[in-house]
Structure formats: C-alpha cells, structure tokens
Amino acid sequence: MAKQVKLRKGLSVKQVQNVPPISLPENSVGELALSTALKNKLLQLEQQLTLLSQSSGQYVAMTQSERDALPYPVEGMMIFNSSKRDVQIYRSGLWQNVGTPAGAITGFSGQIVPDGWLLCDGARNLSRLTYKDLFQAIGLTYGVGVDGGTFAIPDFRGRFLRGAALGAVLDPERALRAALISGTFSVSGGSTVSGSSVVTISSTANLGVGFQVTGSGIPESSVVLEILSSTQFRLGSFSRTEVFASGTGSGVTLTFSNSPVGDFLGSVQGAATQMPLNPFTTGTESNDHTHASNAAPASGYRKLDAIPYPHHLDGLVNSYTNPTTSGRSQSHTHTILGGDPETRPVNLNVNYIIKV
C-alpha cells in the first residue's frame, strides 16, 4: 500500500505536473521506512512545491548564488536568474539558458553591453565560479586565465569571425593557425608511453583542447586532442589527427601554449592575400620598347652620374642615357607598386559580445 502525498493548498495540477511521482512504502508496523535516497527525493519534492507555491504560476526569481545554493535541483526545474536576466532550466545536471545559450556570440550596436553579456575584449581574469555557466560552455577555448581560478574570453576587436574548418578543406591553411594568447606554461609529472597517444600529467585543470604541447617523448607539432580525465589527455596533430608518443618517460615537465593552435576553436590567422581568380597583369607590349640601362655610355662619352638627361661634355650637348631595345617577346619583369595594409571586404563596425 502506498500513501498519497497531499499538495499544498492553492497549487494547481498544472503547476506540479512535471514533479516526478513517488510512492512511500510501509513497513510491517505501518510506519514509513525511508531510505536515504527516498529522503532526498522528498526534499526535492518539497523544494519544488515551495518554489511553485511562491511563484503563483510565474518563474521564481533568484540570483545566481541562490540558484547554485539549491541543495537538490530537480530535472526540468525552471527559474528566472536575475543575475543573468535569463530563464533557465535544470537539465542533465546543468543549468542551461532557455533562450540564448551561454557562450553564444553576436554583434551588438549599442555602447553599453546589456546585462548577461560581456564584451569580447580578450579579458583573462574571469572567475570560473562567478561565470560558471560560461566556463562550462567554452572552457579554455580562448586561453588560460591569469591563475588557476580564471579563464579568458575571445578578443574580437578589429577581427572578423570565421567558421572553424574542423578538418574541412575550406580553410587551406587551417593547420597553420596560431595561438590567440602568446606565451607558454609548464606542468610537471608528465608520463608518456612510446606508441601510445595517452599522456599522464599531474593535472589537466588548465589545459584546453588544441593547446600545443612540447617535451620529452612528445612528437613535434603536437597538441591536446582530447582531455580524458583530470590527469590524462590524448595527443593530436595541428590538423586534428591522433598522434603517438615517440618515447617512454616519467616525471618529465611538459610545456603548453596558452591557447589553441592549428585547426581548433580559438586559434587565429593573420592577414593574407590569395592570388585572384582573375590575376593582375601589367598588360601586353604591342611594340618594341626601350629600358634604361646603367651600362657604360657609348665610346667617347664620360659617365657623370645616373641622371638620364643631356649633359655638356667639352662644349657639346650629348644624351647620357644608353638605351637598350628589346623586342615584344624578350623576357623581362615589372615591379607592381602600391597596395593596402590588409585584404578586407566592405565592412561596418559593431561590438561582438558573448552570452554569460
């Protein structure tokens, strides 16, 4: 026989329709025999009913700190996070935005960044606890922070966005992409096994996928392809393929880049100019033509300087230049001058902002 749980007065069926049903088993003397798991389930139900009774059909408003202090959030529970100005749902052990997800990037035309967003200015001092949802979304994709408790966000000031190739050939230089943040850091306790792609270190807490790694037993141009646990990661190449340790060692110190390189999210490319599909030309010479030469002038003349105009020699006016004539087909080159500092399409400035 199961006892029925009565709802608090004023709660409608609609308000509690998402609350998981439970039944309370009786022991031989008619008293409830509650296991620890069942007690926790009752606490979850009480918490859900309390939130619903306070909300009067609306989402319960609470700060980020109050949300994180909830002892037993229930799958499917929804709140209004007043710190982020977002409706959130608890799903698969994480709080997620119902609307724009944390980590989303968009253009913004205003001067003041709205609540719940940050300017993509490359800041590296964001607390992993204060911006817990954003850190869960992007991790160390845009680089390590100033210490073990912080992380970085992207710097899109003066930059265009590009979709990551992720192995596709649409970015022909995807394996040559550089780190957004210069510099390196080291982690001790590294262990490698020859022929294995798995590397063990003291902690992977400050590693990001795509971070370049160097050290004993590590092949040249290797990166962190995958983080396997709190102490292990898998080796990969700049082009996202698995690679294997070249030697066996233990207790070595490995060095990592501060942000991803190669064909990984968060890497950057400098300015470049591809040969156009319709290449530039200097035109076709239709007639024989001349090129000025620094060769010695004709016999009987003195070379005064390299200025090609007439000079007076012994009272005579003679042309200094000693031209040579080439036919239309004779090989020669022309230097193309000019150009701009970068190659770019027509554009307009906006602020790029990231959802927290």
| pLDDT score recorded for residue 307 | 46
Strands (E) across the chain are located at: 60-62, 78-81, 86-91, 94-97, 105-108, 117-119, 126-127, 150-151, 184-192, 198-200, 211-214, 222-227, 232-237, 249-260, 289-291, 311-313, 316-318, 324-326, 351-355
Domain endpoint, select from 260, 288, 312: 260
Domain endpoint, select from 260, 282, 297: 260
Domain endpoint, select from 210, 230, 260: 260
| pLDDT score recorded for residue 303 | 45
Q: What is the residue whose two structure tokens read 């992007």?
A: 138
Asked whether residue 306 is domain-assigned, the answer is no
In terms of pTM, does the model score above 0.75?
Answer: no
Asked whether residue 60 is domain-assigned, the answer is yes
| Residue pLDDT tens, the chain, 356 long | 343 333 333 333 344 445 455 454 544 444 455 567 766 766 766 666 566 555 545 678 888 888 888 887 888 888 888 887 888 888 888 888 888 889 999 999 999 999 889 999 999 999 999 999 999 999 999 999 998 899 999 999 999 999 999 888 889 999 999 999 999 999 999 999 999 999 999 999 999 999 999 999 999 999 999 999 999 999 999 999 999 999 999 999 999 999 999 999 999 998 888 888 887 776 665 666 665 554 555 554 444 444 444 444 444 444 444 555 555 556 666 777 777 888 888 999 999 999 99
Asked whether residue 233 is domain-assigned, the answer is yes
Task: Give phi and psi for 21, each to the nearest 5.
Answer: -70, 145
Q: 244 vs 11, 204, 235, 259, CA distance in Å?
A: 60, 18, 7, 22
Task: Supply the range of the domain harboring residue 185.
Answer: 181-260
3-state secondary structure of 256: strand
3-state secondary structure of 188: strand
| pLDDT score recorded for residue 12 | 37
Asked whether residue 236 is domain-assigned, the answer is yes
Number of domains composing the chain: 2
Q: For residue 213, what is the domain's CATH number?
A: 2.40.30
Asked whether residue 2 is domain-assigned, the answer is yes
| pLDDT score recorded for residue 75 | 84
Asked whether residue 192 is domain-assigned, the answer is yes
| pLDDT score recorded for residue 10 | 39
Helices then strands, counting H and E runs in the chain, come out as 4, 19
